[in-house]
Amino acid sequence: MCGIVGFTGTKQAAPVLLDGLSKLEYRGYDSAGIAVRDGESETEIIKEKGKLKNLQEMTDNGKAVKGCCGIGHTRWATHGEPSALNAHPHSSDDGNVIAVHNGIIENYQELREKLMKHGYVFHTQTDTEVAVKLIDYYYKKYAPLPIEAIARSMVRIRGSYALCVMFKDYPGEIYCARKDSPMIIGVSGEDTFVASDVPAILKYTRNVYYIGNMEIAKLEQGKATFFTIDSEEIQKPLTEIKWDAKSADKGNFEHFMLKEIYEQPNVIRETIDSVVKDGKISFDTINLTDEEMQQIEQVYIVACGSAYHVGVDLQYVMESLTSLQVRVELASEFRYRKMTLNKKSIVIVISQSGETADTLEALRSAKNQGIKTLGIVNVVGSSIAREADNVFYTQAGPEIAVATTKAYSTQLVAGYLLSLQFAKARNEIEECRYQALLEEIYTIPDKVERILEDKERLQWYSAKLINIGDAFFIGRGIDYAIGLEGSLKLKEISYIHSEAYAAGELKHGPISLIENGTLVISIATQDTLIEKTVSNMAEVKSRGAKLMAVTTAGNYFLEDTAEFTCYIPKIDPLFAGSLSVIPLQLLSYYVSIGKGFDADKPRNLAKSVTVE
Ligand code: F6R
């Protein structure tokens, strides 16, 4: 959840660290710190509570701190309140070991007690201080060898971590280790970088190494060497990241979220183009054959948050197009369920970051049962991408805003293509319908663009919603799936209490919550279900609800019931979700900024949830 950056090379480290951390603030932002060393001199540690700008001001954007080797961290508190004391980097009392850490050390109490028996004193409530002092203990006990000390600590630590460590005796060097927490290493000429996510170093290099689970790396000027936990050296290939450095910048937009909403037409198009060649879907790069698709009887779609909502939509799409049994599961539940999976099934995990702890574990538990897995993933080289049997990469590029928009839209389109290809491979769709649906998918980017062009009406209506206390999203089928996403968007960035219900469920309880002025947003794009949804709208209206509707162009009769209606261009109802979600993203964004919030960094949330 937190962000790590490290640098050793020929430049001044502090500005590089602060710049990198600014690109990672979306991962966590309650405090930040850096440790920088100038040659053999003492390491300077500066840390502060609050957003990174406090640290930037204290150090004159890093210019006041001298040295070409350092580590930095932006924190999202897990153990210990957000404070300058608990902020990273942490140091052993004699300054021998200094480190930053992402993740959670589950047995930190036990390790802390052990270390206290050996005379260690603890000044913070963090698990990171325990890791630092454990490494210091092994370094001093066995031999002053960094790799050895880290490896022995890794054997003792339970939990997840990405660690960057500096040792007093090894100036100019940074040591890294990871387990289930992302970390990449980049090299450019004489400069070496480490970061928990690509945007932090994209400005300097696109050539990266992926450090594997339970591996250790030693970073020196322009060089990275990798070791197993048994201290044996391993060779790794350099991978080129294709992302454009500009895509990790806000450009002329006030927020990343708005920029990312506007990037949707392009990234959806790129996701389609990545697998459609000459009017046909080809999964050569995904390594999923028609024969394999024919064998499958059951599909489990497993994910968290918005990615789970993608799964809910895809369940309807896949079941409409194929005879497959489809189940959508929350990864945090799926991983602990004691269920025997159908051997002829595929587990599709969906994740932007490719690092979500629950989704990764769900993937692993499916693999342990010998079930075939497919990841729909955005971040190249992420843990899920590396561990899944097959990977469909979405082409969203770096997504910085905490609330997902463009990654969600690309996941949805990837899922449509997958569903369509399942139907084709299994001979469950006629060629002309296949071609017609593929053409419909091709129209999505332009139609999204048209919705974005009409943003002023939504902006105007959003201004009327900033004092709303409660909101309900209702819809049936795919519209319900989109309601789930619209509701999450609204609540997570505007802090308005919001819930989504399948419209038919209203009468089974939730309708008792409707009173004068309660906002109800109805999504009504599914031709066969629209009349039923309109009846539900009338029911809530008669109880005082303030009603907004999202529907397809032509359904003007909804204006008789809703006070504000937003139209999406006509499209096959199977793919309407890709369009109806766009006004809901915009609405949430404008309500959030109308209330004076930072839409990019909602409170208590972090972009990638690498702990349970
Ligand atoms: C909400 C949001 C989250 C993520 C969820 C899964 O706007 O972004 O709900 O969808 O945390 O994250 P990934 O896709 O990285 O696994």
CATH number at residue 332: 3.40.50.10490
Nearest CA, atom 7, ligand 1:
403
Nearest CA, atom 1, ligand 1:
403
- Collapsing DSSP to helix, strand or coil, 427 comes out as coil
Nearest CA, atom 5, ligand 1:
305
- What pLDDT was estimated at residue 314? 98
The Å distance, Cα 352 to ligand 1 centre, comes to 7
The Å distance, Cα 605 to ligand 1 centre, comes to 10
In-domain check, residue 435: yes
Nearest CA, atom 11, ligand 1:
305
Strand duo 276-277 + 69-75: pairing: unpaired
Q: Cα–Cα distance between 481 and 493 in angstroms, integer?
A: 19
Q: Cα–Cα distance between 329 and 310 in angstroms, integer?
A: 11
Residues 344, 403 within the same domain: yes
The Å distance, Cα 20 to ligand 1 centre, comes to 22
Atom of ligand 1 nearest to the CA of 411: 14
- What pLDDT was estimated at residue 76? 77
Atom of ligand 1 nearest to the CA of 308: 10
Scored b (16 or more CB within 10 A) or e, 521-536 reads: bbbbbbeebbeebbeb
Atom of ligand 1 nearest to the CA of 309: 10
φ, ψ for residue 509 (rounded to 5)?
155, -60
Residues 230, 281 within the same domain: no
- Collapsing DSSP to helix, strand or coil, 430 comes out as coil
Ligand 1 probe mutation, 256, 352, 393, most atoms within 8 A of CB: 352
- What pLDDT was estimated at residue 1? 63
Residues 285, 221 within the same domain: no
Atom of ligand 1 nearest to the CA of 609: 11
| Residue whose pair of structure tokens reads 């990977």 in the numeric block | 391
In-domain check, residue 599: no
- What pLDDT was estimated at residue 337? 86
Atom of ligand 1 nearest to the CA of 306: 10
Q: Cα–Cα distance between 200 and 18 in angstroms, integer?
A: 9
Residues 234, 263 within the same domain: no
The Å distance, Cα 304 to ligand 1 centre, comes to 6
Nearest CA, atom 16, ligand 1:
351
Nearest CA, atom 3, ligand 1:
305
- What pLDDT was estimated at residue 248? 74
Residues 480, 417 within the same domain: no
* Burial of residue 460 (number of CB atoms within 10 Å: 0-12, 13-18, 19+): exposed
Residues 350, 371 within the same domain: yes
Q: Known catalytic residues?
A: 2, 607
- What pLDDT was estimated at residue 343? 92
- Collapsing DSSP to helix, strand or coil, 36 comes out as strand
Ligand 1 probe mutation, 376, 609, 612, most atoms within 8 A of CB: 609
What tokens does 67 get?
Answer: 């040295």
Q: Could you count the other beta carbons within 10 Å of the beta carbon of residue 91?
A: 21
Domain count, the chain: 3
Nearest CA, atom 9, ligand 1:
305
Q: Cα–Cα distance between 87 and 95 in angstroms, integer?
A: 16
Of 241, 260, 291, which closes a domain?
241
Q: What is the DSSP string of 337-360?
A: ---PPPTTEEEEEEESSS--HHHH
In-domain check, residue 600: no
Q: Cα–Cα distance between 135 and 516 in angstroms, integer?
A: 61
- What pLDDT was estimated at residue 507? 87
Question: How much is the pTM?
Answer: 0.87
Task: List, in sequence order, every residue forming a beta bridge with 384; answer none if it has no partner.
Answer: none
Residues 290, 397 within the same domain: yes
The Å distance, Cα 307 to ligand 1 centre, comes to 6
What tokens does 476 get?
Answer: 């049936």
Nearest CA, atom 10, ligand 1:
306
Cβ contacts of residue 499 below 8 Å, gap of 6+?
471, 472, 473, 487, 510
- What pLDDT was estimated at residue 241? 87
Nearest to 74 by CA among 43, 104, 133, 34: 34
Integer distance in angstroms from the first to the last C-alpha of the chain?
Answer: 11
Q: What are the angstrom distances between the C-alpha of 459 and each of 81, 358, 462, 490, 497?
A: 37, 36, 5, 14, 20
Tell me if 324 sits within 8 A of 578, measured CB to CB.
Answer: no
Q: Cα–Cα distance between 413 and 310 in angstroms, integer?
A: 9
Residues 139, 222 within the same domain: yes
| Residue whose pair of structure tokens reads 């890791």 in the numeric block | 131
Strand duo 69-75 + 564-568: pairing: unpaired
| DSSP structure class, residue 89 | P
- What pLDDT was estimated at residue 287? 86
Task: List, in sequence order, every residue forming a beta bridge with 209; answer none if it has no partner.
Answer: 185
Task: List, in sequence order, every residue forming a beta bridge with 208; answer none if it has no partner.
Answer: 186, 239
Residues 480, 541 within the same domain: yes
Residues 97, 132 within the same domain: yes
In-domain check, residue 380: yes
Strand duo 239-240 + 207-210: pairing: antiparallel
At position 557, the amino acid (one-letter code) is: F
Ligand 1 probe mutation, 356, 402, 584, 592, most atoms within 8 A of CB: 356
Scored b (16 or more CB within 10 A) or e, 494-518 reads: bebebbbbbbeebeeeebeebeeeb
Cβ contacts of residue 581 below 8 Å, gap of 6+?
408, 409, 412, 482, 485, 486
What tokens does 331 get?
Answer: 């990864």
∠32-36-39 over CA atoms, to 5°? 175
In-domain check, residue 611: no
At position 151, the amino acid (one-letter code) is: A
Alpha helices in 426-527 (DSSP H): 431-453, 455-463, 478-494
Q: Cα–Cα distance between 288 and 275 in angstroms, integer?
A: 12
Nearest to 97 by CA among 158, 149, 50: 149
In-domain check, residue 173: yes
- What pLDDT was estimated at residue 8? 98
Atom of ligand 1 nearest to the CA of 305: 9
Of 452, 470, 500, which closes a domain?
452
> What angle, 0 to 180 degrees and rounded to 10, lies between the N-to-C axes of helices 478-494 and 577-594?
20
Q: Cα–Cα distance between 226 and 177 in angstroms, integer?
A: 10
**Domain extent for 417:** 248-452
At position 234, the amino acid (one-letter code) is: I
- Collapsing DSSP to helix, strand or coil, 53 comes out as helix
The Å distance, Cα 490 to ligand 1 centre, comes to 14
Averages of pLDDT over runs of 10 residues in the chain (612 residues) are: 91 96 77 93 91 90 95 81 85 96 92 96 91 97 94 95 96 96 94 93 92 96 96 93 78 93 97 94 91 96 98 98 97 89 95 95 95 96 93 95 97 98 97 97 98 94 94 97 98 96 92 92 95 92 94 94 96 98 98 94 81 73
Q: What are the angstrom distances between the C-alpha of 460 and each of 463, 466, 467, 493, 567?
A: 6, 11, 14, 18, 15
Residues 293, 184 within the same domain: no
Q: Cα–Cα distance between 146 and 403 in angstroms, integer?
A: 39
Q: What are the angstrom distances between the C-alpha of 279 and each of 282, 394, 423, 489?
A: 9, 19, 16, 34
The Å distance, Cα 609 to ligand 1 centre, comes to 8
Residues with CB under 6 A from ligand 1: 304-307, 351-353, 356, 359, 403-404, 488, 492, 608-609
Q: Cα–Cα distance between 140 and 137 in angstroms, integer?
A: 5
Residues 460, 434 within the same domain: no
Nearest to 103 by CA among 85, 135, 65, 130: 130
In-domain check, residue 82: yes
Q: Cα–Cα distance between 258 and 606 in angstroms, integer?
A: 18
- What pLDDT was estimated at residue 217? 98
Of 422, 452, 482, which closes a domain?
452
The Å distance, Cα 403 to ligand 1 centre, comes to 7
The Å distance, Cα 308 to ligand 1 centre, comes to 8
In-domain check, residue 608: no
Atom of ligand 1 nearest to the CA of 608: 15
